[in-house]
Structure 1
Amino acid sequence: MSYEEQTVTGVDGDDIFRCRWLPEGEVRASLTLVHGYGEHCGRYEAFVEEMLSLGIAVYAYDQRGHGRSGGKMGYISSFRGLLPELIRVLRWAAEEQPNRPRILFGHSMGGALAALAAAEAPERMDLCIITGPPLKLSEDLSPLLQKIAGVLGTIAPRLPASKLDPDRVSRDPEVVRAYERDPLVYHGMVPARSGHQLLGIGEEVLSRADGIECPLLVLHGSEDAIAVPAGSEELVAKASSKDKTLKFYAGLFHEILNEPEQAVVRADIRDWLAQRLAS
């Protein structure tokens, strides 16, 4: 395995951290990895190792305002505004691995962004894998609170509005502790503008889901208290893909790749990919 990292100027002028893992031997495919809100691409080591064992080269980056990239930490002025940087990383992967299958993987907010990319830039990928996309709002989030978030996001976009609960990330206390101690994870209050953008992700993505035509795998923990599982169900139902798979994992929280059963989840992804890369 070889690893390389680089910092490039992003489409909006901020520094963007990017990295690449290449497997030993022949590269069978490329996979572009998109992390979720508040985290960074370095939290996916076990998943990356699984992909490398399949002969898949992995390309990843820290989104603007996250990890080692520039921009105000945790601040998202526009969810859609994150798409051009993803497209650029997809292009980077395809240019380095021409004539090989192109896989897009995204988790949480990154999963929603992957779905949007699959719908609006289908020529950039051949397979799409999404875990825990936040496409449906929790029932305890009242319409009034949603409206307030929209107002604050407009008139006071950087006002601290809420904070993510680390205990909702995983049932594994070691994962939670590592998350809390990780200096590259955003531990501050979610700015009002970011909160407003996160609340609007579902409508943005689901209204365009019929544009998704590539083979699609969507995985979700049944006890996810951050991203309501029903959103994944609606995404798969609306996608136009002839080859689409939805799986719920009983009892698992938001980060299914960081749960005690993570090996089972990785094996499911591995099997799904192996079947499609062999054809």
Structure 2
Amino acid sequence: MNALRQSDQCHVLSCGLSWPFSPQTSFHFVLLISLLFNPLTALILSIHHTPIIRPIRMVLEQEGTLSISGAELYTKSWLPDGPVKAKLVFIHGFSDHINRYPAFFSHLASKDIAVYGFDQRGWGRSVKKPAEKGLTGPTTQVLSDIAAFLSQPHLLGSPGSQEPVFVMGHSMGGGQVLTFAAEPKYESLVKKARGFLLEAPFIGFSPEERPSWLKITLGRLAGRLMPHFQLVHKIAVENLTRDKHVQVSIKEDELMHDTGTLEGFAGLLDRTNDLQQGKMKLGKEGVVKSLWVGHGTADKTTWFEATKQWFEGCAGGVKDRTLKAYEGWFHQLHCDGECSGEFFEDVANWILERAGGEKEEVVKAEEAPKVQEVAAVPEVADEGSQKAEAKL
């Protein structure tokens, strides 16, 4: 499982065509053709020696397992082929797994940001038999798993990484990351992180997905009697992304099993309720150094308005904080069609701007939090879509 896999390397012409040769070989080839047909061009090329071909950055993918409290959890990393400027730990969402984000993670790695993730207990390749589907354990177990992963020596463990470490969560994973950051038990570990990022965090149900009060109450009661009872909860793929190809990919992915346990659902509901009611705050100054939140205003799975209300009322202890509203976007910002490249760049730039050192942590206390709005985007086409997706 620890085998190192390297993605195929190729070189690309300025016009975007694939080319199988190295830049140096290609330059000599072009020079030879120029000598035959246009000596003046050959002379200019030989003087400036400016290759018209540039190499694509190579991303290294490394798989493994990590033993945590009796469970063997699947891990994967996306690593730059050169010096690392920052590290990002990513926590996935409900009925999700870490291999659903290849385009996003490869982009970050190409920007010298190493990405580390794992399939959480009950999800993805960490499930070894049907009875383990959705078997996350209570919230205490979920947070303990996150802490154990972060405590590895190359991340936040003693002595810790030389490069700044950031922590990011998507959807349910975003709610878990927020709960972790607000939990006093893990304050010393949270302080070591350079910043936290949230993609469409599950702070509140969207009106389309909100269950009734009676259903929630009965579910909690049943969970106490049969905590490991499995229940299938499907989310309409049309509510996750506008990309038709991604919608098909979600339906065909057998690892996205849509199965939770009553105990797991109860924990998710409790975390969400605590966040929405303001019980989980980042109020202690200096614990969380920096915070970035991105959410689509047309998200039909988690509610943008709940995220905005939490950001405005519960993140006061973080002076360096930004909320970006993606106007008209759906739940999966990382694969909502061709526009997702903007999200890639937003995340990469925010991390790199804070990866330079402690001097960037100094933010004037009187500065208001940044709330960014973006223009509406057109409906995405079916062509050229990205196959990287996550769920709740």
Q: TM-score, normalised by structure 2?
A: 0.66
Structure 1 match to 2:382:
none
- 1:155 positional shift: 2.2
Quick check: 66-75 or 37-46, which moved more? 66-75
Residue segments in structure 1 that go unaligned for 5+ positions in a row: none
Deviations 1:166-194 (A, max 9, x none): 22211111111111111221244x43333
- 1:74 positional shift: 1.9
Structure 1 match to 2:205:
137
Structure 1 match to 2:309:
234
Structure 2 match to 1:76:
136
Q: Quick one: structure 1 residues 173 and 97, their matched pair in 2 at CA, closer, same or farther if it must change by over 3 Å?
A: farther
Deviations 1:121-170 (A, max 9, x none): 32241111101111113444322222122122222331526332222211
Q: TM-score, normalised by structure 1?
A: 0.91
Residue segments in structure 2 that go unaligned for 5+ positions in a row: 1-58, 361-392
1: CA distance, partners of 2:192 / 2:176: 14
Q: Quick one: structure 1 residues 277 and 8, their matched pair in 2 at CA, closer, same or farther if it must change by over 3 Å?
A: closer
- 1:263 positional shift: 0.9
Q: Is the 8 A contact 1:76 1:197 kept in 2?
A: no
Q: Quick one: structure 1 residues 138 and 145, their matched pair in 2 at CA, closer, same or farther if it must change by over 3 Å?
A: farther
Pick one of 167, 174, 184 that aligns with 2:238: 167
Quick check: 96-105 or 30-39, which moved more? 96-105
Q: How does 1:85-234 map to 2 (within 5 A)?
A: 85-92=145-152, 93-94=154-155, 98-120=161-183, 121=186, 122-139=190-207, 140-157=210-227, 158-160=229-231, 162-188=233-259, 190-205=260-275, 206-211=278-283, 213-234=288-309
Q: Is the 8 A contact 2:206 2:303 kept in 1?
A: yes
Structure 1 match to 2:20:
none
Deviations 1:29-63 (A, max 9, x none): 11101100111000111111121122111111000
Q: Which has the higher helix share?
A: 1
Q: Is the 8 A contact 1:30 1:100 kept in 2?
A: yes
Q: How does 1:23-38 map to 2 (within 5 A)?
A: 23-38=80-95
Q: Quick one: structure 1 residues 213 and 9, their matched pair in 2 at CA, closer, same or farther if it must change by over 3 Å?
A: closer
- 1:97 positional shift: 6.5
Quick check: 219-228 or 72-81, which moved more? 72-81
Q: Quick one: structure 1 residues 54 and 159, their matched pair in 2 at CA, closer, same or farther if it must change by over 3 Å?
A: closer
- 1:3 positional shift: 2.2
2: CA distance, partners of 1:180 / 1:159: 20
- 1:230 positional shift: 2.2
Aligned residues: CA RMSD:
2.1
Q: Which amino acid aligns with 1:98?
A: S
Structure 2 match to 1:7:
65
Quick check: 106-115 or 198-207, which moved more? 198-207
1: CA distance, partners of 2:301 / 2:202: 7
Q: Which amino acid aligns with 2:351?
A: L
Q: Is the 8 A contact 1:133 1:231 kept in 2?
A: no
